[in-house]
Amino acid sequence: MMDDSVAKAREAIRDARSIAVLTGAGISAESGIPTFRDAMTGLWARFRPEDLATPEAFQRDPRTVWDWYAARRAQAADALPNAGHRALAALEEACAARGAEFILVTQNVDGLHHASGSRNVVELHGSIRRVKCFDNGHPASSWDPDGAPPRCLACGAMLRPDVVWFGEVLPGGALDAALRAAAKCDVLLSVGTSGLVEPAASLAFAALEAGAAVIEVNPAATPLTPHVTLALRGAAGEILPRLVV
């Protein structure tokens, strides 16, 4: 059963002229980064992610939000890409070699796709490795490590992670590129995402509407599962290497 689905998925990927991949926190789980909902442990156990990842939460309690992101930034800096990340980088190379289009759209802010050599990456929700100021968006390459939060050297405003918080619009260019890719791909691979956060969760449905094959890689079912072409039940680090030939 599973081997048969993996074989069908491999075939669809091999014959595709245009491939789009959407990833979520699940692909970084095997690198030791807890998924979004699992991340609320220890110091953060008393918070829902949506409570900390909003501009309102930052204005209400900037120190707690800054520290949460500082902890996640340190975790991301120590993490290494896993076999799942590497398989997607290899798939991009294989597509380039045969003249097929490839784009990787991620909801993750950990930077592990770039770290594993992927090139055509769209960070829909920003990156925890970048910092900017809250009032004017001035990028900051360095900051006072003891600041909680530190201040912008250009305007004195509080610094914040350069990620998209709930209630904030996504970077225009990123969302447009993702929607265009979903509308014209032959195959969309949805990897390690619960499909609960919009507008990212709509990309797979846009691809289905455009007639693409949608392949889901996830150890658990999601709201997308009943609609996909192939559901590969398992860990990204185990399944993705088997799809790339």
User: Would you name the residues annotated as active-site residues?
Assistant: 125
Please say which residue, 157 or 174, places its beta carbon nearer to ligand BV8: 174
Q: Which helix (H) or strand (E) holds 217?
A: strand 213-217
Helix, strand, coil in percent for the chain, rounding step 5: 40, 20, 40
Please say which residue, 15 or 209, places its beta carbon nearer to ligand BV8: 209
Stretch that binds ligand BV8, among 33-41, 59-67, 93-101, 175-183 (CB under 6 A): 33-41
Parallel, antiparallel, or unpaired for β 187-191 and 18-23?
Answer: parallel
How many residues interact with ligand BV8 (rule CB under 6 A)?
36
CB of 15 to ligand BV8, least distance (A): 24
Contact flag: residue 57 with ligand BV8 (CB under 6 A): no
> In 58-124, where do the E strands start and end?
101-106, 121-123
The single residue among 73, 85, 113, 125 that binds ligand BV8, judged by CB under 6 A, is: 125
- In this structure, are residues 124 and 174 in contact, taking their beta carbons and an 8 Å threshold? yes
Contact flag: residue 176 with ligand BV8 (CB under 6 A): no
The single residue among 193, 214, 232, 244 that binds ligand BV8, judged by CB under 6 A, is: 193
DSSP H helices in 109-186: 112-115, 172-184
Contact flag: residue 203 with ligand BV8 (CB under 6 A): no
What CA–CA distances, in Å, run from 37 to 2, 19, 48, 74?
A: 28, 28, 8, 18
Stretch that binds ligand BV8, among 91-99, 151-159, 186-194, 206-214 (CB under 6 A): 186-194
- In this structure, are residues 192 and 29 in contact, taking their beta carbons and an 8 Å threshold? yes
The single residue among 78, 168, 176, 209 that binds ligand BV8, judged by CB under 6 A, is: 168
Q: Which residue is nearest to ligand BV8 (CB)?
A: 26
Dig out the tokens for 51 from the structure: 């409570």
Parallel, antiparallel, or unpaired for β 101-106 and 213-217?
Answer: unpaired
CB of 195 to ligand BV8, least distance (A): 6
Contact flag: residue 219 with ligand BV8 (CB under 6 A): yes
Please say which residue, 103 or 191, places its beta carbon nearer to ligand BV8: 191
The single residue among 16, 25, 204, 243 that binds ligand BV8, judged by CB under 6 A, is: 25
Angle (CA) 225 188 86, round 5°: 105
